[in-house]
Structure 1
Amino acid sequence: MKLLNLGCGQKYHKDWINIDFISNSDYVIPHNLLEGIPLEDKSVNVVYHSHVLEHFSKIDGLNFVKECFRVLKPSGIIRIAVPDLETIAKEYLKNLELAAIGDKDGKNNYEWIKLELLDQMVRNESGGAMKEYLFQSTLPNENYVYERIGMEGKSIRQTFLNNQVSSTKKLKTPSSKNALIKRLLKKIKNKIFHKSKNEVLTVAQKKALRIGQFRLNGEIHQWMYDRYSLTELLKEVGFSEIIHSNAFESEIENWEKYQLDVIDGEVRKPDSLFIEAKKL
């Protein structure tokens, strides 16, 4: 059985064909999925992607799902996880009402869910306002944030806390000094290399170039989906037997052993909408 994991990031399994824009492992094939899926027609039994589809524009997302359909064998399964727009919208409205009547928890949760709704679509630098929120000295609604974004949020937060503790010590180590020197040399090299290109640009043009390059690097959310719109998209492409699933259940054989949506019993991205369908 051939299993395909698209846009896998750091969450891949050696039994799968794993593809991502950048590879950090011998088990991951580097490829730009905007250029299609580099596999033959009807060549895999399962296609899976988690929190990938929303990074495509609406039309590119349609073409991407068509590619998933193309490479699947008859009776093949597609499994998709995306941020659930419906749940985010409901949480936003609920906490808006609570914040408006002065509820303290509602106010804090409102500030977070507003970021969940908008930040990854509008940010112009990596991490955006979500990073600033997670990097506060104290999270006023830590449990709510972790319920929403799960272990990845915990990991980001813990990395920040660890860096806070060890930052002074690291600056004194030779390895950190060497890294700093390397960064400075790279910065100088880049300035020299790009001088002829940038010397004719205004400050505003340089800012626009920087923002444009960032917004095209894949971090931005370009579309959002709910159970209705994602179902309609799958129907349009030709998928059938569409079901709304959860992180633990799947028609994919031995799903639990791959630990892609659930790791050691914990849901990796609890803010997700999970949908499966078949190519008949």
Structure 2
Amino acid sequence: MKLLNLGCGNRYHKSWTNIDFYSANESVLSHDLTQGIPFDNDTFDVVYHSHVLEHFSKTGAAAFLKECFRVLKPNGIIRIAVPDLESIARIYLQQLESAYNREAGAEANYDWIVLEMYDQTVRNRRGGDMADYIFQGNLANESFVYARHGLEAKNLRKEFLNAKDQNKHQNTTDSLYNRVFNFGAYKRKLIKLLLGKEYISYEIGKFRMSGEIHQWMYDRFSLSRLLLQTGFKNPVKMTAFSSSFPEWNTFELESKEGEIFKPDSLYMEAFKIN
């Protein structure tokens, strides 16, 4: 079988054809998916992408799914994971009520779910306020955050704590070398000098065009409707572990050792039926 993983990030498998904007591994092809999918019609049995679709505009998402349809073989499967707007909205209302009633721990949970809803649409810097929240010294509602963002949040916080500990013992000479010989820093200074007051607008615009921003959100109704509108049939909601593709769980693309990478996800599959 031929399997395609689009926008794979650091979650990929050698049995798949893996594509991401940047490639840091020989198993990943570098390609800008806004320019289409670089394969012939009817090439793949399964097309999969996780937390990619929300980075396209509404019109761009439809065009992208049509490309997914094009490269799928007849009777092929598309599998999509996106942030689940319905889940976020329901939990937001629960935590709003609890925070308003001054229930213990609810304020922190409320703060997180609001970030989950809005931060990646409005942030002007990498990671935004969600990263600041995960990286704070004392994560009071750690279990709530991990229940929402799973293994991915755990790994981010672990990396942060390890890096923080390592920074305490950072070599002074290396630090000085980076400050003196960092070409990127000189480049930024030059651009800032040339642009003057417009430099902030330049930096924000450059970041917001980088692909990190969420441009839309989906629930089970809107995602299934979009799949039908772009030619797919029989959309069905799945879990991280369930799939129409029998070998799915062997690849550990959405979970590892039974723990889900992004539990906040809506999982959906559909079919190309001619």
Same fold by TM-score, threshold 0.5 exceeded? yes
Which residue pairs with 1:270 in the alignment? 263
Q: Quote the Cα distance in structure 1 between the aligned partners of 2:44 and 2:77.
A: 9
Q: Distance in 2 between matches of 1:253 and 1:131?
A: 36
Task: Please say if 1:133 is aligned against 2:160.
Answer: no
Deviation at 1:263, TM superposition (A): 1.1
Match of 1:255 in 2: 248
Do residues 168 (structure 1) and 161 (structure 2) align? Answer: no
- 2:225 alignment partner, one of 232, 243, 248: 232
Q: Which residue of 2 aligns with 1:146?
A: 146
Number of positions where the alignment pairs a residue of Structure 1 with one of Structure 2: 273
Q: What are the equivalent positions in structure 2 for 1:169-248 lying under 5 Å apart? A: 169-172=169-172, 174-183=173-182, 185-192=183-190, 194=191, 199=194, 201-203=195-197, 205-248=198-241
Q: Quick one: distance in 2 between partners of 1:244 and 1:103?
A: 33
Task: In structure 2, list runs of 5 or more residues that go unmatched.
Answer: none
User: How far 1:175 sits from its partner (Å)?
Assistant: 4.4
CA distance in 2, matches of 1:67, 1:30: 17
Asked if 1:100 corresponds to 2:100, the answer is yes
User: Which runs of 5 or more structure 1 residues have no equivalent in the other structure?
Assistant: none
Q: Which amino acid aligns with 2:185?
A: K
CA distance in 2, matches of 1:18, 1:209: 32
SS of residue matched to 1:89 = helix
Q: Does 1:6 align with 2:6?
A: yes
The aligned residue for residue 36 of structure 1 is 36
The percentage of aligned residue pairs carrying the same residue is 49
Q: Distance in 2 between matches of 1:116 and 1:191?
A: 33
**TM-score (normalised: structure 1):** 0.94
The TM-score with structure 2 as length reference comes to 0.96
Residue type at the aligned position of 1:48 = Y
Q: AA paired with 1:239?
A: F
Name the Cα RMSD after superposition: 1.4
Corresponding letter in the other structure for 2:96 = L
Residue type of the partner of 1:141? N
- State how far apart, in whole Å, the 2-side matches of 1:186 and 1:211 are: 17
What do residues 103-156 of structure 1 show as CA deviations (whole Å, max 9, x unaligned)? 122211101000000000000011111111111110110000000001111111
Q: How does 1:114-125 map to 2 (within 5 A)?
A: 114-125=114-125
Q: Provide the rounded CA distance (Å) in 1 between the counterparts of 2:230 and 2:186.
A: 49
